Amino acid sequence: MSISFTGIASGIDTAALVKQLIAAESIPQLQLQAKVSAERSEISSLQDLNTRLAALAKSAKELTGPDALSLFTATSSSDSVAVAARAGAGAGSLDIVVDTVAAAQKSVTAATSAATTTSFTITGSDGSHTELTAASTSLDDVVSAINEADAGVRAVKVAAGTDAGTGEPVYRLQLTATDTGAASAFSFHAGTAAQVDAGTATDLLAAPGAATVTAAADSSVRLWAGTAAEQTITSASTTLTDVLPGVDVTVSKPTTDAVTVTVGDDPEARAKVVQGLVDSVSAVLSRIAAQTKVTVGTDGSTSGATLAGESVVRSARQGLLESLTYPVGGVSLSTIGIEITRYGDVSFDADKLSAALAADPDAVMARFSAVATRVQETAESFSDKYDGLLTTTIQGRVTSAKRLDDQILAWDARLEQRYNRLTTQFTAMEVSLAQLQSQQDWLTGQLASMNASKSS
């Protein structure tokens, strides 16, 4: 750091003077700082809008399919049968009788205090074998070996009292299939797979005292029961899929009487879908309106919000508004309840949608799909991460802000150099003045001595 002398000879506060000079010369830098601050604020707002448009494009894409409004409600005449309608369902009804409900096999062995061997085999319904070896004849080790075998069977040791002869505690092994359905049935033998095939292994689930508590079973229902068209359908789980197109039936207990499954239109769900799209677009439009608002003061002056001067944002607003309100195939979207108000907002009338769906559901669904596609394409044209109009605008703004940052840094170096130069110059001036004052004082002293000599 250089040493400066402030006003020693001149009496001037040169340090303050230098600061004032630097402050005056730093005005362009302050202007740059204000500009980059405004630039970054605009970048932040543009990024926020871009994120909202990307989310809108994603949600709109999910509604572009022809079955976006193919929404139905499903009911059952019995609580033993639950019904769910998926995409692709259609209105209709069907009577079914539930004969069996899918179950997982659950079996228990005879009571014992320990196994007679460490070699066991689990055999599936398809005849496949899984051999396992327990660490010892301890029932705990047998349980561990079964559970670690990944054979589709889980085991647990259950207390079963004491042995009548020895008084020792005895246990049963409860074995349960991990899946429901007839195909998950199994047997459990003491011995190797070869011994099972040879018939020399001991079937531990068929031994005296053993039992199958629950047999493996499929869900089985009959359609058109009691008629010449009677048909049985089965499932390894409690759910039977596509009993009707797009309709899944889940059974919980057998029935003696037919259960009626009914699928009908769900106008509330359809209205909710259209309302959701309208609300999503309206939310983005409201955000744009807030960010581009221009306020006129009482004195006639105007001030704009962060993005008031952004043409790309105005283009995004216009594009979204048109995509949601322009006719499709020459037909006004007011026919399906989507309308633009006199204030430039978008509204939705669920009653008009319901009436249109009742009159011509295919035409309405095609019209809505077209609207959703337009919204998606418009939102993507601005928010695409590679070449979206907003994306490229943001990239350009970021580059511009970096240039401004570089200019501000350059000004820092320039002002520092200027500060050092002025400080050096004023210090030199003070030193020179001090030297001149010293010479003046010496000359004054000499003249005073000469005058004193003459007087004497």
Cβ count near 196 (within 10 Å): 22
Check whether residue 408 and residue 271 sit in a common domain. yes
Counted domains in the chain: 3
Residue 453 lies in a domain: no
Residue 369 DSSP code? H
Residue 8 has pLDDT above 60, yes or no: no
Check whether residue 309 and residue 439 sit in a common domain. yes
Helix (H, G, I), strand (E, B) or coil at 250: strand
- Single out the residue of 262, 246, 225, 184 nearest to residue 98, CA to CA: 225
CA atoms within 13 A on the CB side of 112: 19
Residue 52 lies in a domain: yes
Residue 106 burial (C-beta neighbours within 10 Å; 0-12, 13-18, 19+) = middle
Residue 454 lies in a domain: no
β-pairing, 92-100 vs 302-304, is: unpaired
Check whether residue 348 and residue 430 sit in a common domain. yes
Residue 451 lies in a domain: no
What is the band of 228 on the pLDDT scale with cuts at 50, 70, 90?
very high
Check whether residue 84 and residue 170 sit in a common domain. no
Residue 410 lies in a domain: yes
Residue 217 DSSP code? B
The tens digit of pLDDT for each residue in 297-327 reads 777 766 667 788 788 999 999 999 999 989 9
Structural domain including 144 reads 106-214
Which amino acid is it at 141? D
Check whether residue 279 and residue 393 sit in a common domain. yes
The tens digit of pLDDT for each residue in 252-303 reads 999 999 999 999 888 888 888 898 999 999 999 889 888 888 777 777 766 6
Distance, CA of 258 to CA of 213 (rounded, Å): 28
Residue 221 burial (C-beta neighbours within 10 Å; 0-12, 13-18, 19+) = buried
Q: DSSP string spanning 426-446?
A: HHHHHHHHHHHHHHHHHHHHH
pTM of the model: 0.64
Q: From 149, 183, 214, give the residue that closes a domain.
A: 214
Check whether residue 317 and residue 441 sit in a common domain. yes
